Amino acid sequence: MKYVFKFRRRWFWTSLNVVGHAYDVGQDKMVVYFEGGSVREIAHWGQCEIQLGVDWVLAQKKSLEEQTGQTIPIRGVS
């Protein structure tokens, strides 16, 4: 389930095609996971802004449906 992970620190946006991400609170870093198995850490995450699109919502929906075995309706997204 790939999606676009878009973030910025100050003025410039960076877009990454990822399969997952996780925030490490203790170290204030975001860890993003790529399709080939590689990983990238984004330090000082508290200084960044994130933008996730419909593709991320659909990836989450699909993951939850696989976990529960039920269809999950989402208003405004098909």
**Token code pair at residue 57:** 């919502």
Query: At 74, is the secondary structure helix, strand, or coil?
Result: coil
Q: Does residue 44 sit within a domain?
A: yes
CA 41/CA 33 separation, integer angstroms: 9
* Residue 5 scores a pLDDT above 90: yes
Q: Does residue 59 sit within a domain?
A: yes
pLDDT digits (tens, 9 = 90+) for 15-74: 999 999 999 999 999 999 999 999 999 999 999 999 998 888 888 888 888 888 888 887
Q: What domain count does the chain have?
A: 1
pLDDT band at 1 (very low <50, low <70, confident <90, very high): confident
Position 70 scores a pLDDT of 83
Residues of the domain holding 61 = 3-68
Q: How many CB atoms lie within 10 A of CB 11?
A: 5
Q: Does residue 77 sit within a domain?
A: no
* Residue 75 scores a pLDDT above 70: yes
Q: Does residue 26 sit within a domain?
A: yes
